[in-house]
Amino acid sequence: MVIRRLVLITLAMLWAAVLCLAQLDTATILGTVFDPSGAVVPGAKVVVQNMGTSATVELTSDGSGNFIAPVLPVGKYKVTVSLTGFSTYVQEGVKVSVADRVQLSITLKPGAVTQEVTVVGQTPLVETASTTLGSVIGTQQIVDLPLNGRAVDQLVMLAPGVVAGTYNGASSGRLWENGQKWLLDGGDTSQIDSDLAAGGYGSTARVNRVSVDAVAEFRLVNSSYSAEYGHSIGAVINFISKSGTNEYHGSIFEFFRNDKLDARNAFNPAPLYKPPRRLNQFGGTLGGPLVKDKLFFFTNYEGVRHDLGPHGGLPRLPGFRAPARGGHVAAAEWDGVAL
């Protein structure tokens, strides 16, 4: 009995934690329903359906004709509005990104409920329901743009106003603190000792917080934060991982670098020793339904093999004997000349 209670308490705490994070990795669709004369329409039935998973939220417009569907996973949605005496309004492809508050203005036309008025090809929606300023980097940009080393944080440079700089900032009691906060699906993924993008102590880790192929999109918030953001005096970067849908999707990838295909360093001409380099990054993703319309999965794997040779990839003078394979030096990436 005691063990059972402990298990139930643990599950309740985990569920509460998920609920607390939901507002940071989801979005909201809200709107107002009007009739042709411009008067608001109360009591209209509103159905918001995820076009990838078929998950639905059913609402009713209030006395002012307003409705709000909060805590929606990122993706594309179909919004259906119906009321006796009016044709059914259908709008497909309403795309919401993380932390969006997409506002719709819906006009119902007189007619039978069985008649449908489908809205397609509308101008992209402008977010007017939030004062938060920032940028969203979407899936297409993540897939199309090249990344040296496949470190997803490099894509932050795509956001307006972001410039490369040194890691100098206000101290908050940590070893290093540059004033920004890194999140993954709303959870804090900043380091214990610093909030640097690529890690402290000269770390050269290539899988940085999340694999590029597992990222659906991310939002960079730089000012006018809403209440759910905190613990930062600078930007907040929130990576959103992909999720499964009713269709199976997968990918495999292999990226490599080999010194046989590299030009020589300008400061390391022949006959100086050309250091070896073998870099392979490989993996794949797979997502789909476990139970259609109810339960989904998404999984990702990424491996890295980086061989810089027996002496850490450092150039050497002719005649210099490299140490045995078993005694190689753990060196950071090096493109200069060893003196």
The token pair that represents 214 in the structure block: 């597992």
Residue 315 has pLDDT above 70, yes or no: no
Place of tokens 């613990």: 231
- 32-74 per-position pLDDT tens digit: 999 999 999 999 999 999 999 999 999 999 999 999 999 999 9
Q: What angle do CA 147, 152, 154 make, to 5 degrees?
A: 65
Full-prediction pTM beyond 0.85? Answer: no
Contact 93, 121 (CB under 8 A): no
Say what the pLDDT of residue 313 is.
Answer: 52
Cα–Cα distance between 248 and 263 in angstroms, integer? Answer: 41
Highest mean pLDDT, choosing among 83-92, 150-159, 224-233: 83-92
Q: Which of 144-153, 164-173, 227-236 has the highest mean pLDDT?
A: 144-153
Report the range of poorest mean pLDDT among 202-211, 222-231, 300-309: 202-211
Token pair of 89 as six digits = 């309004």
pLDDT of 252 strictly over 70:
yes
Quickly name the fold that domain 21-119 has: Immunoglobulin-like (2.60.40)
What residue type is 313 in one-letter code? Answer: G
pLDDT tens by residue, 121-149: 554 455 555 656 678 888 888 888 887 77
Find, among 339, 265, 276, 280, the residue nearest to 313 by Cα.
276
Neighbours of 333 (CB within 10 A): 12
pLDDT digits (tens, 9 = 90+) for 213-235: 899 998 888 777 776 776 666 78
Average pLDDT over residues 294-320: 73
- Asked if pLDDT for residue 279 goes beyond 80, the answer is yes
Closest CA to 315 of 262, 267, 263: 267
Q: What is the mean pLDDT of the chain?
A: 76
CATH 2.60.40.1120 residue window(s) in the chain? 21-119
